[in-house]
């Protein structure tokens, strides 16, 4: 239970960092998404069984702080978690490399879903400019931050899931 | 050798002494004294230097400790003073912003304002929104216009008890009714994902020139009239098009927003009941 509840203060803290610092450091018009990175990194940790809960909590908290429709963040983070868990089962020996790969796929999926939804809601988003100014720079920033976030989350997972020693 | 009597000796020495004093006072002995004193001063300097060197060698350990302690104290004091300078510079910058905002409030005395600090930006790069630290507890309502001392920033989009989300005029989902000065042409201002703002629906007959001021027109009831937005930088006009369009340089630097004013006594007008739906026709 503690492994689920601790996600609330962690994501509140991460959201504060995201809105106050990370979103103020754009590359062109793209920004990193450390909430998504934390969700992916958490789902990649071997002993973790609470990835879906973390994804739901992270998506909900982000949804309340963003002007994006609430459902977008929740749905896209849940789908990204699903993809992460599937890939983790197949490639479990090199999680750091998987982290980079899923960061690429996840950012593309999350930003793509946001763009499609906003277009359906009536916002004009030119495809080429969206790709060049938002999606590609966001992917680059997320990949740059992926490994540091993975390292921090791995330590957190080790602290919350101490290894059992047989005596 | 015959001994000179004492009174004569005394008189002779006195005369010689008086003569030397007179010569010295007259400056006639200066070259002589320079030659005579020079080696003496050199020797004294050499002796003094050696003494001081030996003295400093003997007293060095205790002095070094004291110097190091004093150095640490001074470095600590410098760090403290630097912190104070940074704090004062921040206060000065904040004071300048508040002073400029006060000037703006004086220029538009018909409105009531609530000052708010910008505490964050929307996590999604698609949304040009900012978070401010004032909410419904401070009298903020959805739709209230937000300005700085320079001009229009946007409007309140969502409100919680102690914070609000402000949609910037650079957001691709926003539309503002504007008029140009001095041509008085009416137009629609829209944002974009690049952060640029553009004017659409400018009548073909309007004679628009770069450099014209873009102000809110008040039409539509969403924003108060005559609030500065920016300046026209380029006009795009095609013979076969229904309208002209133009690009605008915003007066507000949206990347450096720190403090904003919310106009609290302006209530946006909801025109949706007046818009005819197919079923109502």
pLDDT in tens, B47-81: 888 878 887 777 766 667 788 888 899 999 999 99
**Torsion, Cα of B239, B245, B247, B250 (10° steps):** 150
Cα–Cα nearest to B222, from B113, B168, B143, B110: B143
What's the rounded Cα separation, in Å, for the pair B197 and B201? Answer: 14
Mean pLDDT of A85-108: 87
Q: What is the pTM of this model?
A: 0.73
Verify whether the Cβ–Cβ distance A67 to B194 is below 8 Å.
no
> pLDDT: is B207 or B108 the higher one?
B207
What's the rounded Cα separation, in Å, for the pair B242 and A126? Answer: 22
Q: In this predicted structure, what is the pLDDT of residue B1?
A: 56
Residue with tokens 């609330």: A8
> pLDDT: is B224 or B100 the higher one?
B224
Of A66, A129, A134, the CB nearest to B122: A66
Which of A134-148, A151-165, B147-161 shows the lowest per-residue confidence on average (mean pLDDT)? A151-165
pLDDT, tens digit (0-9, with 9 covering 90-100), for A113-130 = 999 999 998 888 888 989
Residue with tokens 């789908």: A79
With cut-offs at 50, 70 and 90, classify the pLDDT of residue B17: confident
CA distance, residue A40 to nearest chain B CA (Å): 17
Q: Is the pLDDT of residue B163 over 70?
A: yes
Which residues of chain B lie closer than 8 angstroms to A124, CB-CB? 172, 190, 192
What's the rounded Cα separation, in Å, for the pair B218 and B186? Answer: 11
* Secondary structure (DSSP) of A50-112: -HHHHHHHHHHHHHHHSSS-HHHHHHHHHHHHHHHHHHHHH--S-HHHHHHHHHHHHHHHHHH
Q: In this predicted structure, what is the pLDDT of residue A165?
A: 64
Verify whether the Cβ–Cβ distance A115 to B126 is below 8 Å.
yes
Which residues of chain A lie closer than 8 angstroms to B168, CB-CB? none
Q: How far is CA B61 from CA A104, B49, B68, in A?
A: 63, 20, 11
Q: In this predicted structure, what is the pLDDT of residue A53?
A: 93
Verify whether the Cβ–Cβ distance B193 to A23 is below 8 Å.
no
Mean pLDDT of B120-146: 91
CA atoms lying within 13 Å on the CB side of residue A19: 25
> pLDDT: is B23 or A83 the higher one?
A83
With cut-offs at 50, 70 and 90, classify the pLDDT of residue B275: low
> pLDDT: is A159 or A166 the higher one?
A159
φ, ψ for residue B200, nearest 5 deg: -125, 170
Cα–Cα nearest to A87, from A102, A76, A77: A102
> pLDDT: is B2 or B81 the higher one?
B81
Which residues of chain A lie closer than 8 angstroms to B119, CB-CB? 19-20
Report the interhelical angle of A34-44 vs A7-20 (nearest 10°). Answer: 150
With cut-offs at 50, 70 and 90, classify the pLDDT of residue A164: low
Verify whether the Cβ–Cβ distance B127 to A68 is below 8 Å.
yes
Which residues of chain B lie closer than 8 angstroms to A68, CB-CB? 122, 124, 126-127
- Token pair for residue B102? 């006060």
Tell me the average pLDDT of chain A: 89
With cut-offs at 50, 70 and 90, classify the pLDDT of residue A146: very high
Q: Is the pLDDT of residue B279 over 70?
A: no
Verify whether the Cβ–Cβ distance B126 to A15 is below 8 Å.
no
φ, ψ for residue B95, nearest 5 deg: -60, -40
DSSP tag of A30: B
Mean pLDDT of B78-89: 91
Q: Is B185 helix (H, G, I), strand (E, B) or coil?
A: coil
What's the rounded Cα separation, in Å, for the pair A83 and A81? Answer: 5
Q: In this predicted structure, what is the pLDDT of residue B96?
A: 80
Q: Is the pLDDT of residue B216 over 80?
A: yes
Q: Is the pLDDT of residue A110 over 90?
A: yes
Closest chain A residue to B128 measured between Cα atoms?
A67
Cα B136–Cα B114–Cα A62 angle in degrees, nearest 5:
45
Cα–Cα nearest to A19, from B252, B71, B133, B14: B133
Mean pLDDT of B109-114: 84
A114, A123, A130, A131: best mutation site toward chain B, by most B Cβ within 10 Å?
A123
Which residues of chain A lie closer than 8 angstroms to B194, CB-CB? 29, 129, 133
Tell me the average pLDDT of chain B: 85
Q: Is the pLDDT of residue B269 over 80?
A: no
CA distance, residue A151 to nearest chain B CA (Å): 22
Return the CA Rg of chain B: 42
Closest chain B residue to A59 measured between Cα atoms?
B123
């Amino acid at each position: 239970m503690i492994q689920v509840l601790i996600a609330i203060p962690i994501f509140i803290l991460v959201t504060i960092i995201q809105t106050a610092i990370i979103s103020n450091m754009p590359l062109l018009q793209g920004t990193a998404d450390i909430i998504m990175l934390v969700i992916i990194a958490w789902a990649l940790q071997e002993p973790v069984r609470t990835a879906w809960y973390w994804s739901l909590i992270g998506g909900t908290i982000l949804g309340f702080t963003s002007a994006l429709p609430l459902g977008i963040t929740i749905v896209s983070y849940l789908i990204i978690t699903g993809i992460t868990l599937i890939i983790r089962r197949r490639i479990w020996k090199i999680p750091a490399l998987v982290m980079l790969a899923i960061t690429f796929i996840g950012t593309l999926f999350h930003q793509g879903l946001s763009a499609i939804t906003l277009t359906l809601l009536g916002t004009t988003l030119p495809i080429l400019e969206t790709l060049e100014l938002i999606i590609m720079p966001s992917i680059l920033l997320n990949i740059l931050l992926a490994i540091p976030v993975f390292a921090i989350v791995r330590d957190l997972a080790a602290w919350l899931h101490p290894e059992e020693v047989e005596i | 050798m015959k001994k000179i009597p004492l009174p004569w000796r005394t008189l002779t020495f006195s005369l010689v002494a008086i003569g030397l004093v007179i010569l010295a006072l007259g400056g006639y002995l200066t070259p002589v004294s320079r030659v005579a004193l020079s080696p003496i001063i050199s020797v004294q300097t050499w002796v003094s230097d050696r003494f001081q060197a030996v003295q400093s060698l003997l007293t060095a350990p205790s002095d070094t400790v004291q110097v190091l302690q004093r150095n640490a104290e001074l470095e600590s004091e410098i760090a403290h003073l630097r912190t104070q300078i940074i704090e004062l510079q921040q206060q000065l910058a904040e004071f300048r912003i508040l002073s400029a905002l006060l000037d703006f409030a004086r220029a538009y005395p018909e409105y009531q304002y609530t000052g708010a600090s910008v505490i964050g930006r929307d996590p999604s790069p698609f949304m040009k929104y900012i978070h401010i630290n004032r909410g419904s507890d401070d009298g903020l309502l959805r739709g209230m216009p937000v300005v700085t001392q320079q001009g229009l920033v946007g409007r309140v989009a969502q409100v919680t008890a102690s914070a609000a989300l402000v949609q910037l005029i650079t957001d691709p989902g926003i539309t503002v009714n504007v008029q140009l000065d001095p041509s008085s042409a009416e137009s629609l201002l829209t944002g974009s994902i690049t952060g640029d703002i553009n004017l659409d629906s400018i009548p073909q007959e309007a004679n628009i020139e770069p450099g014209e001021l873009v102000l809110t027109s008040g039409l539509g009831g969403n924003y108060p009239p005559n609030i500065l937005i920016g300046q026209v930088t380029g006009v795009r006009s095609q013979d076969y098009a229904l309208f002209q369009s133009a690009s605008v340089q915003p007066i507000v630097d949206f990347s450096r927003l720190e403090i904003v004013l919310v106009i609290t006594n302006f209530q946006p007008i909801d025109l949706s009941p007046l818009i005819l739906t197919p079923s109502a026709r």
